[in-house]
Structure 1
């Protein structure tokens, strides 16, 4: 009887210590389950990220959205977002509203807008690789073009 209690206490302590160990988990591994809030990214060298941050702030201000990723390249600016669950019935209207808002505020930019989870995940992965220094600016630009093409193929 005393051995059982000792065993149970040891197992509880073991499981508690295992749960408290800090794990390094990338945002891309959890991007579909939680809000990752990736930082805005520009693949262009020596460009200020003020415009990219403005774009993210504008899109994030919409109440129907809860996670936004923005990647700016030479030609295209990719804006990917997640829609709150109760607003998923109005996704076409939300996309139209986002497009309209972006075109009005930034008329010179060429935007690609998507609410697709796969595209969001690819944007988060691109962001992580750029932060880690695994991609040069030219390779990041090529990857951005591939993601934009993937977005167009899905329509």
Structure 2
């Protein structure tokens, strides 16, 4: 009986420590738990103007005191803005979204925004951002993925 304990204990300990070894986890795996603060993603042309535009949008959104994490993905026609609201402001989410939409439409009238505070949309935006860092992930696939996320957002409302 004692020898079973001496044999089983190290095996169990090795199994448990082996499961926790994945230190190089992606942002998308932890996006719902902690602040990931992903950089804005551009699907189409990476011109200086477009990069400045998405950085400006991110800065404007991130400056809102009610938010703590923002993911932005800009496609050919649409721009997805997914954000997380601080717990203290959860009861004011409609008001926050309205304020954000007004600010974005006023400051960037030529852009077509899809704004969401839904965690699933945020997570999908972060995953798309990570996929786009892979050189084998084409713009066409990225556009399809963005359209899928926007469609999912519209189905949720």
CA RMSD for the aligned pairs?
A: 2.0
1:135 deviates by: 1.5
Q: Please give the residue correspondences for 1:84-99 in structure 2 after superposition, counting only pairs within 5 Å.
A: 84-99=86-101
Residue 133 of structure 1: SS of its match in structure 2?
coil
Aligned to 1:14: none
Residues 45-64 of structure 1 deviation map (CA, whole Å, 9 limit, x = unaligned): 34331101100000000000
Show the 5 A alignment for 1:70-81: 70-81=72-83
The superposition leaves residues 101-126 of structure 1 with CA deviations (integer Å, 9 ceiling, x where unpaired) of 00010000000000000000000000
Q: Which runs of 5+ in 2 are unaligned?
A: 1-16
- Give the TM-score, by structure 1 length: 0.85
TM-score under structure 2 length normalisation: 0.84
- Given that 1:77 and 1:112 are in contact with CA atoms closer than 8 Å, whether structure 2 keeps it comes out as yes
Please give the secondary structure, in 1, of the residue aligned with 2:133. helix
Report if aligned partners of 1:41, 1:70 keep a CA contact under 8 Å in 2: yes
Runs of 4+ in structure 1 displaced over 6 angstroms?
none
**2:140 equivalent among 116, 138, 141:** 138
For 1:1-155, what aligned pairs fall within 5 Å after superposition? Answer: 23-48=23-48, 49-155=51-157
Show structure 1 runs of 5+ residues with no match: 1-16
May I ask how many residue pairs the two structures share in their alignment?
141
